[in-house]
Amino acid sequence: MHLRRALLLSLAAALVLGPAARTFASQPAPSNAPADATPPALYLGTAWYPEQWPESRWDTDLTLMQAAHIRFVRVGEFAWSMLEPSEGHYDLDWLDRAIRAAQRHHIAVVIGTPSAAPPAWLTTKYPETLRIKQDGQRDQHGNRQQFDWSNPKYRELARAMALQLAQRFGHDPNVIGWQIDNEYANESYGPATQAQFQDWLHARYTTLDNLNARWTTAYWSQTYTDWSQIPIETSYGNPGLLLNWKRFVSDTWRSYQKNQIDVIRAKSDPRQFITTNMMGFFDGYDEYTVSQDLDLASWDDYVGTGQLNPVSNGAAHDLTRGLLRKNFWVMETQPGFVNWSPDNNSLDKGAVRAMAWHDVGHGADAVSYWQWRSALNGQEEYHGTLVGADGTPVPLYPEVAQLGSEFAMAGPSLAGTAVHSDVAILHSYDAVWAINWQRHNKAFDPLATMVTYYGALRALAHSVDIVNPSVPLSQYKLVVAPALNLLTDQQAQNLIDYVRNGGHLVLTQRSAMKNTDNGLFTERQPGPLADLLGGRVAQYYALDSSIPISGAWGSSSTNVWAELLSTSSPDTKVLMRYGKSPLGWLDDQPAAITRQVGKGRITYIGADLASDSASPALAAAAKWMLTDAGVHPAFGALPPGVDLYIRSDAHHEVWILINFGDAKAAPQTVTLPTAFTNVLTGSPTHSVTLNRFDVVILQRPTH
């Protein structure tokens, strides 16, 4: 029966893939050589759950994967009940057999530690390992992420499970890496966690007098006389308390993760990387904090409802690349559609392939689809897959197979390349949280503001890094800090040094208002940067109507928010002014100012340029910033809908061009500045024409 089913499925693959499958059929039989004996520069992968299927099915699935050029599978991250059926009794043999089966098909393995979904025996025997929700009720078994990430017993059991896996597979030639847990998300709010939070605060502030002073607890009689009095608060409370809870959450996720990392590192080869799959702009914790102990960053890239927005999705890629400031992996992405969005439409034909090359262009070295095949029951039955419930390929399969073939062809050109940017956007979880707790105008979204500036700059520069304000900045000619509301002392000094050493720093609305404890600076905005700016924010206004602005960047209007600027130095120049409005306070006052400091420059934009991504003033401001900073992009303006990504090493550049334009738009032609070689065809070219979702990969030497 197994042989007959395998033959039928192979025939189905041949019918779907055509020549690609026939090419595969002529290849040598799978061997026992390690899948990573010659690791590819670009990995195509999928999430595979062998424990959910009869073992007689495994080779059939792996044959279809190999035909689609899938080079790795992620396994194990939800399999705790199969790996440890009862406490202390481990069964890793089935996983070993699955790894060997993958190896025979030249498919490498990433092992996910299974702590995201504890087994029923664990949560029944140790109910204290279940999280306490914000309503005070204990979570129940039957979902995932129901564990208490701060609970010592849960950490002990998770560590023991990770140790067993590392001892068995830490030197396995076919295991290339480890993923810790899966999509960290839920905190616990019980008394034990609260006590840990209080101890954490004690270690941070040393004395209650210090904490009370820095949090200004004299306000509303919040003064604490014992550490045990300090509550957990997540939405409306003392700003210092709110911020420190989020920092505690971040540190606790980091220590939860390190609890497993330490045993894996001690028992595994250095060649095996360790990561965890984060979630882009999810702000439940500080990803910069949690990523510090990882070898590489990875994230789960989903569109949900609608079609890919290359600007916002690209910003999420660049955020992930900025966590460790190097190439990253897309550990999960959608094969057509998801099941958890209000409307789970499919991506258009061709968009899945284009989206994957978009990932690579932003610095991804791997793209992996969730998942290979749906479980026949469970909470995610409707989620997109690469094969159907019957085990035969779905219509998307050939598109992914084409992508796998292209990854194999283009991999040598992309090996060792990375994204290099002259422009950086500063992103801080502290600042985002601080604004979101006190928006003052509900329409002011700090992340949307950042993405809008990012889009305007990237349209001209073609490459923008997103990094934390604590990192070294000297490599950048231009640094833009949208709504950087909160600054630590170290970050403030970092920005001052950047300007004094010749960089151009641009601050926007609501920047440098708060200190490390989420309290107001004693100086007006931009706080410790005001002297450098030679100006300040005299007052801020949440707006209920538009106010005209005009000046060096043309004429426009400001919505949502406006800041009245003043100058205190003759060197500080006014770039934009407000016009007349019913508000009156802003009439003819400075809306944007700038000051040259030696070879550097600092600029403050008090007008809301980001409420309209198509604003001509924003485009003009972005062009002015880049020109003043001496940023000279490798290419000029692109046709509508066409996006350019550049990766390079010391010897050559790889350009990836993708047309994300409207379905009704005409094909777009791009004339190249010099001769390139088309990586997929080997042909020289001076221009390319792209239909919707077309992808062209080009390379040229850099010397």
Show which residues are catalytic: 183, 332
Contact 414, 654 (CB under 8 A): yes
- C-alpha–C-alpha distance, residues 651 and 647, integer Å: 11
- C-alpha–C-alpha distance, residues 299 and 370, integer Å: 12
What residues are paired with 646 via a beta bridge?
Answer: 655
Per-residue tokens: 691: 């239909």
Q: Which amino acid is it at 683? A: S
CA neighbours closer than 13 Å in the CB half-sphere of residue 476 = 30
Reported as type and span, the H/E element at residue 157 is: helix 152-169
- C-alpha–C-alpha distance, residues 242 and 219, integer Å: 15
- Kindly report the number of other CB atoms within 10 A of residue 686's CB atom: 10
Residue listed under structure tokens 């009940």: 81
Angle between helices 397-414 and 2-17 (to 10 degrees): 70
CA neighbours closer than 13 Å in the CB half-sphere of residue 86 = 0
Q: What is the DSSP letter of 308?
A: -
3-state secondary structure of 233: coil
Query: Beta 72-75 vs 108-112: how paired, if at all?
Result: parallel
- C-alpha–C-alpha distance, residues 417 and 362, integer Å: 11
CA-nearest of 427, 428, 478 to 457 is 478
CA-nearest of 290, 289, 365, 378 to 328 is 365
- C-alpha–C-alpha distance, residues 597 and 501, integer Å: 9
**Alpha-carbon separation of residue 276 from 253, 329, 528, 562 (angstroms):** 11, 10, 36, 40
Residue listed under structure tokens 């940067």: 529
Reported as type and span, the H/E element at residue 602 is: strand 600-605
Q: Which amino acid is it at 610? A: A
**Alpha-carbon separation of residue 284 from 17, 133, 238, 251, 294 (angstroms):** 42, 15, 19, 12, 18
Contact 641, 663 (CB under 8 A): no
What residues are paired with 299 via a beta bridge?
Answer: 278, 330
CA-nearest of 103, 123, 119, 116 to 77 is 116
| CA 426 from centroid of its chain's CA atoms | 14
Contact 348, 664 (CB under 8 A): no
DSSP string, 365-392: EEEEES-SS--SSSTTTTS--SB-TTSS
What residues are paired with 504 via a beta bridge?
Answer: 478, 601
Per-residue tokens: 198: 């209080």
CA-nearest of 167, 84, 151 to 119 is 84
- C-alpha–C-alpha distance, residues 285 and 499, integer Å: 30
Angle between helices 93-104 and 58-67 (to 10 degrees): 40
Contact 419, 428 (CB under 8 A): no
Q: What is the DSSP letter of 217?
A: T
- In degrees rounded to 5, what are phi and psi of residue 22? -65, -35
- C-alpha–C-alpha distance, residues 87 and 119, integer Å: 10
